[in-house]
Amino acid sequence: MNKLISSVTLMGMGLYGILLFNANKLGLYIHPRFFEESYIASIVAFIIGIISLVYFIYTEKNKLIIQIKQIVNNRILMIAVLLGLSFFINSIFLIVAALVVLMPNKNGIPKEFASALLTLGIISIGLFLPAKGLSSITASQRSIDLNSINLTQDTISAVQNFSKSTTNFSLGDWIAMQNFNPDPEFYVDKEVKVSGFLYKPTNLNLNTETAVVARFIITCCAVDARPVGLRMQLIEDSDLKPDDWIEVIGKFGLDKNNELIILAENINKISEPTNPYIY
């Protein structure tokens, strides 16, 4: 039975990777330079999963029938399987499966099977729930250096063309530029038009009129993602909430501590972009 669940799990992992690639959502989890390798690996995993499943059913069909009957006779595992069939209560299914893994093995339940079932449940959630970018909750859990970014060819070009219009500078361009020249007075009155999610990190002790427009920068995948951003002054009577995606239009200025801040003239809510990260 473990082989059966492993085959289905491998198929699910491959299918999930294929769906993410075709929906242009793979960038929510890994750097674009790994797209092709991930897509090929997903196809291979899906094909191997199908082959192993067919082979297992063909060679072990008699044992499989007996094992299924034995599993169904076990009430705890039967409840877990039935709950797993319904997407709407998949969270309950995961809790039951996790309890089966952690509980003493008194009822003859193979823990390897329960572990594989738990993995399959997590994959099934991924197949049904929409893929989303990281949020401010993740940002607050990561070490924060909001103004640190490595120069790329694009940001080097932005630095070289700084004397021209800056309205097309991205959030990453501005942060790279400030790394290149940290003098805040150099940026005063420069026009800004950037987008990101609204973030209020607790370690910066921001007042109610100040927030950060932020994005995550990814080097390899979502595991190493870290937030970067620019401080901004909120507009009065704003109904913005943390994690809202916004486009900020204004100019750079200095606050009372002589620190650089965006003096916002317009803050518009926008949809989360297809690629919300800085690569």
Q: Using one digit for the tens of pLDDT, what is the confidence trace for 22-53?
A: 888 888 888 888 889 999 999 999 999 888 88
pLDDT (tens digit per residue) in 246-265: 999 999 999 888 889 999 99
What does the H/E/C string look like for 94-125? HHHHHHHHHCCCCCCCCHHHHHHHHHHHHHHH
Lowest mean pLDDT, pick from 117-126, 171-180, 258-267: 117-126
Q: Which fold has domain 136-269?
A: OB fold (Dihydrolipoamide Acetyltransferase, E2P) (2.40.50)
In angstroms, rounded to a whole number, what is the distance separating the alpha carbons of residues 57 and 70?
17
- pLDDT confidence tier of residue 198, bands split at 50, 70 and 90: very high
Per-residue pLDDT at 237: 67
Q: What's the pLDDT at 263?
A: 94
Total-model pTM: 0.65
For residue 93, what pLDDT band results from cuts at 50, 70 and 90?
very low
Query: d(Cα 59, Cα 194) in Å, to the nearest integer?
Result: 59
Distance from the Cα of residue 212 to its chain's centroid:
19
**C-alpha angle 32/33/34, rounded to 5°?**
90
Domain boundaries for CATH 2.40.50.200 within the chain: 136-269
Q: Which residue has the tokens 């750097």?
A: 31
CA-to-CA dists, residue 160 to 31, 45, 68, 180, 248, angstroms: 26, 45, 67, 11, 23
Give the rounded percent of residues in the chain with a pLDDT score beyond 90: 16
Task: For the chain, give the mean pLDDT.
Answer: 75
Q: Tell me the pLDDT band of 80, cut-offs 50, 70 and 90.
A: low
Residue 194 bridge partners (DSSP):
248
Most confident of 60-69, 228-237, 261-270: 261-270
Contact 30, 63 (CB under 8 A): no
Instruction: Calculate the alpha carbon distances from 230 to 170, 195, 260 in Å.
Output: 11, 10, 8
> What integer pLDDT is reported at residue 151 of this predicted model?
52
